[in-house]
Amino acid sequence: MIDRIVQLPAANATQALGLELGRSLTAGSVLLLTGELGSGKTTLVQGLAQGLNIDDAIVSPTFTIINEYLGGRLPLYHLDLYRLTSAEVDDLHLETYWLGLEAELGIMAIEWAERLSYLPPDYLRIELTYDPVDGRIAKLRDRA
Ligand SMILES: Nc1ncnc2c1ncn2[C@@H]1O[C@H](COP(=O)(O)OP(=O)(O)OP(=O)(O)O)[C@@H](O)[C@H]1O
Ligand SMILES: [Mg+2]
């Protein structure tokens, strides 16, 4: 079920959606970001960081896999699974993050969440798509 559809005519609208989420999400929230190459996943996380009052520049974790930002309202764990196989994703044991076992509970933002073979108990899925009229569209779904 889609809970909300947001039109994103320009990059600043994608950032603004992230900012709104960064101000409102609670510790333990997991954002599953899906969408084609260049659809705006990292841009949304940049806004998310801003909403969490994180001052660091958000750079794509394509090669580092996970970037942690601890200076804001809550920790932000930013992941990009693009280059990983499902087996490699399993080896990351991401549940230790979303359960808060080894790291302080924060906000997890996972790009290329399609690569996950199992999901956290709660999550917000954000699917970004190109749209000929509106530039980009975000579809937000809770949990399923
Ligand atoms: N709503 C939008 N409208 C137009 N351009 C946008 C929008 N959102 C983001 N962009 C631009 O699209 C480009 C790619 O964005 P971004 O890097 O966030 O995509 P991505 O989904 O993270 O890509 P990747 O799949 O490579 O990780 C950037 O130049 C960004 O400014
Ligand atoms: Mg990206």
- 50 Cβ below 6 A of ligand 1: no
Separation of alpha carbons 55 and 50, rounded Å: 7
- 15 Cβ below 6 A of ligand 1: no
- Average pLDDT of span 103-112: 94
- Average pLDDT of span 57-73: 89
**Ligand 2 center to residue 14 CA distance, Å?**
13
- Average pLDDT of span 93-105: 89
**Ligand 2 center to residue 80 CA distance, Å?**
7
- Residue 143: which pLDDT band, with cuts at 50, 70 and 90? confident
**DSSP sequence for 11-26:** HHHHHHHHHHHHHH--
Q: State the CATH number of the domain containing residue 136.
A: 3.40.50.300
- Contact, 51 vs 20, CB < 8 A? yes
Residue 144 clears pLDDT 60, i.e. is over it: no
Residues 68-94 pLDDT 10s: 999 999 999 999 999 998 899 999 999
- Contact, 22 vs 50, CB < 8 A? yes
- Residue 100: which pLDDT band, with cuts at 50, 70 and 90? confident
**DSSP sequence for 28-52:** T-EEEEEESTTSSHHHHHHHHHHHT
- 10 Cβ below 6 A of ligand 1: yes
* Closest ligand 1 atom to 8 CA: 1
Range of 87's domain?
4-142
Whether the predicted model's global pTM rises above the 0.85 cut: yes
Domains: count for the chain: 1
Residue 1 clears pLDDT 80, i.e. is over it: no
Conformation bin of residue 93: beta by default, left when phi > 0, alpha when psi is -120 to 50: left
